[in-house]
């Protein structure tokens, strides 16, 4: 009987103790960052996820600037957001590959509270067949473009956070392709994995400036860019990556919620939560409950991850056999 009590005590006490330790380790604690009246600048804000974020931020009373290349698409987005929210967004027609233009546009846009580096390009193809040009283009836009934006905005954001004494945020749009590499996404995945390293290091560098960093990991999402990308997908890529598509508005809502809480890792659906646990590594974590789930779930999610890999290798094998058979 006594040992039963001891066992029960252990089952209840040990997790509580762990939670207590994690409450101490999870730092800095979640923040409340309100968008109302703040300046939110979103790259790639003229289409898809960026456009949905721009619309939602505007409807929460933020002053929104959207940055992208095509002026006609920017103008159309401005019109659409104006009609939906009554808010007048500023538009910046810039290619993120060109640092000088990015820098100038950011200067002109004025102090930024929330920077969302969301722009991105993606083309799936086996590495063996993908043009070097297309590989470089994805690196230049997704990775270098993000460096350009952050480099251009950071000094002003630091100063602004100091002046306003309000929390600020830099959000970076990764992808589930930045958590697991799959068939056909070699180049794209590399750019999205790279953003993780950047975000983790940046988190250290701005933590004392009251600037939060969020890294967002959407699954396949219904957007104009996605509609183009799937046309070119190989069958294998399609079978592995077709894990439930989200709507741009749903992803935007998850992303903005993450930003408003200062969450570092922002998954967008259930598989995303599993991926976040499986790949938690040394991510900073500001929620003790989140940390608890990661510590407890790590081993099990490793197992689930291996099950997925087993399934994926099976798909590749089957496809290979079919191709060689026909």
Ligand X SMILES: NC(=O)C1=CN([C@@H]2O[C@H](COP(=O)(O)OP(=O)(O)OC[C@H]3O[C@@H](n4cnc5c(N)ncnc54)[C@H](OP(=O)(O)O)[C@@H]3O)[C@@H](O)[C@H]2O)C=CC1
Q: Site residues (CB under 6 A) for ligand VSD? A: 122, 175-177, 180, 182, 219-220, 226, 229, 241, 243, 271, 274-275, 278, 301, 304-305, 308
Give least dist CB 88 to ligand VSD, A: 30
Q: Catalytic residue numbers?
A: 174, 188, 192
Residues 249-288 as x/- pattern, contact with ligand X by CB under 6 A: ----------------------------------------
Give least dist CB 97 to ligand X, A: 5
Question: Contact 147/198 with Cβ under 8 angstroms?
Answer: yes
Give least dist CB 32 to ligand VSD, A: 30
Q: Per rule CB under 6 A, is residue 120 in the interface with ligand X?
A: yes
Give least dist CB 155 to ligand VSD, A: 31
| Beta carbon nearer to ligand X, 23 or 273 | 273
Q: Which of residues 161-180 bind ligand X (CB under 6 A)?
A: 173, 175
Question: What whole-number distance in Å separates Cα of residue 288 and Cα of residue 276?
Answer: 15
Question: Contact 168/113 with Cβ under 8 angstroms?
Answer: yes
Give least dist CB 130 to ligand X, A: 16
141 binds, among ligand VSD, ligand X, none (CB under 5 to 8 A by kind): ligand X
| Beta carbon nearer to ligand X, 131 or 228 | 228
Question: What whole-number distance in Å separates Cα of residue 284 and Cα of residue 2?
Answer: 41
| Beta carbon nearer to ligand VSD, 109 or 216 | 216
180 binds, among ligand VSD, ligand X, none (CB under 5 to 8 A by kind): ligand VSD
Residues that bind ligand X (CB under 6 A): 43-44, 46-50, 68-70, 73, 95-97, 118-122, 141, 145, 173, 175, 218, 220-221, 223-226
């Amino acid at each position: 009987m006594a040992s039963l009590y001891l066992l029960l005590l252990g089952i209840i006490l040990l997790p509580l103790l762990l939670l207590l330790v994690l409450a101490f380790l999870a730092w800095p604690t979640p923040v409340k960052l309100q968008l109302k009246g703040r300046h939110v600048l979103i790259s790639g804000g003229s289409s898809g996820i960026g456009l949905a974020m721009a619309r939602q931020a505007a409807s929460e009373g933020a002053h929104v600037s959207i940055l992208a290349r095509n002026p006609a698409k920017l103008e159309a987005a401005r019109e659409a957001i104006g009609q939906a929210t009554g808010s007048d967004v500023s538009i910046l027609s810039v290619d993120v590959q060109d640092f000088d233009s990015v820098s100038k546009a950011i200067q002109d846009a004025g102090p930024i509270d929330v920077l969302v580096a969301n722009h991105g390009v993606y083309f799936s193809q086996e590495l063996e067949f993908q043009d070097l040009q297309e590989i470089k283009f994805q690196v230049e836009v997704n990775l270098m473009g993000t460096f350009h934006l952050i480099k251009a905005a950071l000094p002003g954001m630091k100063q602004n956070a100091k002046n306003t004494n309000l929390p600020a945020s830099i959000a970076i749009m990764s992808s589930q392709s930045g958590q697991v590499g799959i068939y056909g996404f070699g180049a794209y995945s590399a750019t999205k994995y790279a953003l993780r390293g950047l975000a983790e290091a940046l988190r250290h560098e701005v933590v004392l400036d009251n600037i939060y960093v969020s890294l967002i990991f959407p699954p396949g999402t219904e957007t104009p860019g996605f509609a183009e990308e799937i046309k070119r997908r190989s069958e294998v890529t399609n079978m592995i990556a077709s894990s439930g598509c989200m709507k741009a508005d749903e992803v935007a809502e998850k992303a903005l919620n993450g930003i408003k809480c200062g969450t570092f890792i922002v998954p967008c659906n259930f598989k995303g939560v599993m991926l976040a646990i499986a790949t938690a590594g040394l991510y900073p974590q500001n929620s003790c409950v989140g940390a608890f789930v990661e510590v407890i779930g790590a081993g099990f999610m490793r197992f689930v991850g291996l099950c997925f890999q087993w399934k994926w290798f099976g798909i590749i094998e089957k496809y290979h056999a079919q191709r060689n058979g026909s």
